Amino acid sequence: MPKEPGQQKNGAEQEPKKAKNKPAKKKPAGRPSISRSPQGAAGAARNALPYDMSARQKQVRRQRIMLLGITLFLVLAAGVLVMAVTGVFSKDSDPVMPDLPKYTSFPAEQGNAKRINPLTGLRDLNASAAGKRAVSFMVNNAPAARPQWGLCAPDVITETLVEGGITRMLFMFSDLATVPKVGPIRSARHDFVEITEGFDSFLIHWGGSPQAYEAIKARGVNNLDGMVYSGKYFFRDKTRLNQGLAVEHTAYTNSEYITAGIAAKGWRTDVDPAKTSPFRFVTEGAAARVPIGGSAAAVNFRFSANYKYSFEYNKTTGLYAQYLNNTPFVQDGGQQRKVTNIILIYVDVQQIAGDKKNRVNIDMSGGGGIYVTAGGWETITWKKGKPAEPLQLLDKDGAVLELNRGKGYIGMVPIVQRTNTTVSE
């Protein structure tokens, strides 16, 4: 008859075979003996081994469970630390699942929304430039310097005579980060130094007249000069050099170089609180304001016999396209300069006595002018005063002039050329 598992020949329970592989241990003193069947001392000895193994296994199991718990705690703690470092539980946003977009519920990019550009009134200013000083570049306007680099990029261009009937331009930007390759960079004049001071702007130039250097030094104007930083923040265009152009028509710079230069100087970058809003603009979103003086499909004016300008209005775009000597005024690459606002202020221009290069001095105390925009024009007045004082644009009654929002042109036209200004309906 087959034997039941674990049964001896005499019918007693048989220990599992694996238990026979290990010698029985002596019963510890004081420990109660436990046997699976009443077999006396021999049975107790045989049953001691299974009891000891069970206790050890329980102890090992407890240790493993404890180790597993510690490991799980450390993993969870590490996960929380990683999420805290990476911003999942940052102060700037609500907690979100790691595999979801960080700003699903509360977009932090609202803090990076475009701001109002103080020079144009347009909402196109990077948040990083809000409340920062403008940057102004002296740009050559001799025939050999055309077409200029970056002519269409400035928020505002200011232009006036320097000497010998030629003009120079000041490219003004509210946001240095938006400055492309600009130039040819040319030498400064003291009148342009005053303009930059009025806007609390950095001045970027290559060289300068004795009067300009004197003004910069006396009044501590923050400026970067290509005469000092050629090859570091200013460079020569090889293509134009190879074309045989004189070196003064080949200098350029850009945002990257000037940003580095200003940072190296450690200058103040926050704008003077008194100069945060140099112009007043119509309410954002409102229709363009049409000046009440009359219609203006085009405006024509001149600085001298060789610098005759016109701006022609496009009703569809609301912009005025610029022409110089009856030719589209274009930047390198062929794009024509177009603006919303044209401001002509008439200034008294006198040659500096004893200046061998016939440089001029401009009276910036104030005067009259015209404002052209949105297909219309009107008479205005202006004043500036001391070098550090801002340029103030006023209507004919002396109230602050309200401009349309957009890029602009400021022409400081010799008062003797006033009669050559015409407006076409």
What's the CA gap between 86 and 122, in Å, rounded? 35
Q: How far apart are CA 116 and CA 205, in angstroms?
A: 27
* Residue 201 near residue 262 (C-beta atoms within 8 A): no
CB atoms within 10 A of CB 245: 16
Amino acid in position 411: G
Residue 54 is predicted with a pLDDT of 54
Q: What is the pLDDT of residues 206-265, one digit of tens each?
A: 999 999 999 999 999 999 999 999 999 999 999 999 999 999 999 999 999 999 999 999
Q: Tell me the pLDDT tens digit for each residue of 48-69.
A: 333 344 555 556 566 666 766 6
Determine the Cα–Cα distance for residues 235 and 233; give it in Å rounded to an integer.
7
Whole-angstrom distance, CA of residue 276 vs CA of residue 352: 33
Q: Give 359-392 pLDDT, tens digit per residue.
A: 999 999 999 999 999 999 999 999 999 999 999 9
The DSSP element (H or E) to which 210 belongs, if any, is: helix 210-219
Apex 195 CA angle, 143 and 350, nearest 5 = 65
Nearest to 35 by CA among 55, 49, 21: 49
Look at residues 306, 333, 319, 300 and name the one whose alpha carbon lies nearest to residue 404.
319
Burial label, 3 (beta-carbon count in 10 A; 0-12, 13-18, 19+): exposed
The angle at the Cα of 340, spanning 349 to 128, to the nearest 5 degrees, equals: 95
Cα gap 425→422, rounded to integer Å: 10
Angle of CA points 225, 231, 235, to nearest 5°: 80
Q: Which residues contact 124 (CB under 8 A, 6 or more apart)?
A: 114, 117
Tokens 């009856």, residue located: 326
Per DSSP, the three-state class of 171 is strand
Of 25, 71, 255, the closest CA to residue 149 belongs to 255
For residue 302, name the pLDDT band (cuts at 50, 70, 90). very high
**What is d(CA 223, CA 174) in angstroms, rounded to the nearest whole number?**
16
Bridge partners (DSSP) listed for residue 313: 320
What are the phi and psi torsion angles at 183 (to 5°)?
A: 150, -170
Q: For residues 319 and 327, what is the distance between their CA atoms, to the nearest angstrom?
A: 17
How does pLDDT run across 313-366, given as a tens digit for each residue?
A: 999 999 999 999 999 999 999 999 999 999 999 999 999 999 999 999 999 999
Query: Contact 369/380 with Cβ under 8 angstroms?
Result: yes
Average pLDDT over residues 157-165: 97
Task: Assess contact for 414 and 305: CB atoms under 8 A.
Answer: no
Contact 366, 382 (CB under 8 A): yes
Give the residue among 363, 339, 357, 341 at the shortest CA–CA distance from 413: 363
